[in-house]
Amino acid sequence: MPEFVFGGEQTTRNNGRQELMPNILYGVNGEGAGHSSRAREVIAHLEAQGHRVHVASFDRGYRNLKDDFDVTEIDGLRLAYVHNRVRYRKTVLRNLLHLPQTARMVRFLEREAGRWDLDMVITDYEPITCHVGHKLRLPVIAIDNQHLLTDTEITYPREYRKEAAAAKLVTRLMTPHADAYLVISFFTARLKKKKTFLFPPILREEVLKTAPSAGDFVLVYVTSPAAELTDLLKTVRQKFVCYGFNREGTDANLEFRKPGLDTFLRDLSGCCAVIANAGFSLISEALYLRKPYLAWPVKRQFEQVLNAYYIGKTGYGAYWDDLSKERVESFLFNLESYREKLADYPRADNSALFAKLDELIAGSGR
């Protein structure tokens, strides 16, 4: 990795010496809430270190970060969904057709970069800022969980080989090249590249400060309403607190609530278990709080399939492509065995990743 020579703002360190601090462009994928949630923690750390951070994002990423940081809205690249399933071929085709807009956005950020006097780029699965870094010959650091697919040795069900190959292609499309990859994961994996480093998930400060308890209800979360799931859960003798169904109120043993970061974290920390899609951020928070997890991945979305597969493989919970009354009841019956496995789950904070990032920025992590 190249030495970083910064042209940013001067900051006085403890020894009284003036040091130049880098100006950083931070690209954040705007789909979902996970990218912006972890980027918020990293950006706050960078600013606390005295760095000037310029953020580029779109959609939810832009909305979630714009009130607290210096954020430029961009026209981002997106995954293609059909009937709640990721279509990787359509994703590649859509982004190929999007190349003229991408080129315009790269030129726009290049002009802004000159005004910002940038020194480096950090990207969380955001390709436009990555391209800007390459064109300006700036160091690029990738921080995400997606590079587990390309940079580590992992296993997965054989029937998903095509989806895995397509997901790897999309990952390379989203981050064509970086000088270092800080990959986050809730399970261990063998690294394939010297410039890749593996860390525990990046967690919100609120989660790190939360003291979990075991209530009498199961937390249910879906990314899109699923009427068939509510009908199924009514047949199970258990209380469920449900998010993501676009409704409020009580229906038999189901209590529906609207999303809210504070109320959701309260319910996550106080539930006895979680039934949800297999998004990385929710899994990371649930495992940190030692909550058994029944993973029900979005159809054909390989990243979620991989997450769900490792939930089952590690013994932290169960994984099913489709749910049934018997499968939910089996999960609930085995909660104690999942809790025994979770007792050994490493409840790590963000300090190891932050230390490596600081080392790379200082230019000593070649």
pLDDT per residue over 197-219, tens digit each? 999 999 999 999 999 999 999 99
How much is the pLDDT for 18? 43
Q: pLDDT tens, 245-275?
A: 999 999 999 999 998 878 999 999 999 999 9
> Which pLDDT score, from 0 to 100, does residue 11 have?
45
Distance CA 216, CA 234 (A): 16
Residue 309 to residue 156: CA distance in whole angstroms: 7
CA of 299: how far to CAs of 83, 87, 233, 304, 318, in Å? Answer: 9, 10, 20, 9, 16
Task: Tell me the CA end-to-end span of the chain in Å, nearest whole number.
Answer: 4
Instruction: Report how far residue 35's alpha carbon sits from residue 201's, in angstroms, rounded to the nearest whole number.
Output: 12
The pLDDT, as a whole number, for residue 1 is 43
Q: How large is the average pLDDT for residues 312-329? A: 97
pLDDT score at 96: 63
CA angle (33, 194, 187) in 5-degree steps: 45
Q: Cα separation of 77 and 26, whole Å?
A: 15
The whole-number pLDDT of residue 202 equals 98
Tell me what pLDDT residue 231 has: 94
Identify which has the larger pLDDT, 33 or 133: 133
What proportions of the chain, in percent to the nearest 5, are helix, strand and coil?
40, 20, 40
Task: Look at the alpha carbons of 255, 258, 259, 260 in this order and tell me if their dihedral is positive or negative.
Answer: negative
Strands of the sheet containing 254-257, edge to edge, are 249-251, 254-257, 239-243, 217-221, 273-276, 293-295, 317-319
The identity of residue 63, as a single letter, is R
More confident residue, 93 or 238: 238
User: 285 or 157: which carries more pLDDT confidence?
Assistant: 285
CB within 8 Å of 96: residues ≥ 6 apart: none
pLDDT of 17 higher than 50:
no
Domains of the chain: 10-202+350-361 (3.40.50.2000), 206-342 (3.40.50.2000)
pLDDT surpasses 80 at 366 = no
Q: Which residue has the tokens 């996970």?
A: 34
Distance CA(323)–CA(327), nearest Å, equals 6
pLDDT of residue 15: 47
CB neighbourhood size of 110 (10 A): 14
What pTM was computed for the model?
0.89
Mean pLDDT for the chain? 88
**Token digits of residue 1:** 């990795």
Tens of pLDDT, residue by residue over 275-298, are 999 999 999 999 999 999 999 998
Other Cβ atoms closer than 10 A to 153: 9
Task: Tell me which of 94-98, 152-156, 313-317, 359-363 is least confident.
Answer: 94-98
Q: Tell me the C-alpha distance between 82 and 66, whole Å.
A: 29
